[in-house]
Amino acid sequence: MKQVAMCIWRPEDFYVPEDVSAEITALSRWENFPQAMVISGGGYNKLTIGSVKRKFEEFIDASLNLNATLDKRKGGSLPLAFYREELPGGSANAHISLLVREDMANFEVRRILVDSGSSVDIMYAHLFETLQLDEYHLTPYVGSDLQGFNDATTKPWGYVDLIVTVGINETAKLIKVQFLVVESPSLYQCIIGRTAIADLLAVPSTAHLKMKYYTNKG
């Protein structure tokens, strides 16, 4: 029987201190936690700001028509499309992050954030330990510390490469993901960023709370 990696390792980390709770009534206790880290800084990246700008210009030049159009079917594949009828409750979601479940290291991992704004795939330390991984599974991290909103910094543990199964049964698809392991309180188990999304050839939609991708069967 497959084990399930639970998402909260220390519930007390997500409680709002009583002396400040009155000042942040707009957010629930679940949405507040100390020392939330953001990916600022990090390791060496071949894509400098200049090269990103050049790549963007190349994409613009390669686009024959930048006007919005209705696409027709091209080749033998169907488009990855979302329909109005798929909107949760009949209206576009703007309040909940897109979360998925995936299998990795013989565990079913829940509460995985799909974030196309993240250039790195992140695994939080509590999940790393839950998956019964250790330092021998890590490759060294070379780069600056990650910077948090409150000026707190954290040094990533390193990288871990895992085979990840997305979907179940006929929708299952395997990809190799290189996670950067970070020790920091988080509402999520890990973050699937642009790299994994591209490898999966997926299109996520927060409005629909769905992610679609191609498999061998469609």
Q: How far apart are alpha carbons 154 and 143 in whole angstroms?
A: 12
- Determine the pLDDT at residue 24: 42
Q: Flag the least confident range among 33-37, 77-81, 86-90, 141-145.
A: 33-37
Kindly state the average pLDDT of the residues 142-154. 75
Between strands 99-104 and 190-192, the pairing is: unpaired
CATH of the domain at 181: 2.40.70.10
Amino acid making up residue 156: P
End-to-end CA distance of the chain: 29
Q: How far apart are alpha carbons 80 and 202 in whole angstroms?
A: 8
Please report whether residue 168 resides in a domain.
yes
pLDDT at residue 171 above 80? yes
- Determine the pLDDT at residue 62: 62
- Determine the pLDDT at residue 77: 76
Q: How far apart are alpha carbons 156 and 136 in whole angstroms?
A: 15
Q: What is the pTM of this model?
A: 0.71
Please report whether residue 152 resides in a domain.
yes
Please report whether residue 68 resides in a domain.
no
- pLDDT, tens digit, 9 for 90 and up, residues 94-142: 888 899 999 999 999 989 999 998 889 999 999 999 999 999 999 999 8
- pLDDT, tens digit, 9 for 90 and up, residues 9-53: 444 444 444 544 444 444 444 333 333 344 444 544 555 656 766
- Determine the pLDDT at residue 45: 53
Domain count, the chain: 1
Amino acid making up residue 61: D
Please report whether residue 56 resides in a domain.
no
Q: How far apart are alpha carbons 42 and 145 in whole angstroms?
A: 6
Q: How far apart are alpha carbons 38 and 182 in whole angstroms?
A: 11
Please report whether residue 74 resides in a domain.
no
Closest CA to 8 of 186, 160, 178, 132: 186
Please report whether residue 63 resides in a domain.
no
Please report whether residue 70 resides in a domain.
no
pLDDT at residue 82 above 50? yes
- Determine the pLDDT at residue 88: 86
Q: How far apart are alpha carbons 208 and 82 in whole angstroms?
A: 8
214 and 203 Cβ atoms separated by less than 8 Å: no
Amino acid making up residue 210: K
Question: Mean pLDDT in the chain?
Answer: 77
Provide φ and ψ at 120, rounded to 5°.
-130, 145
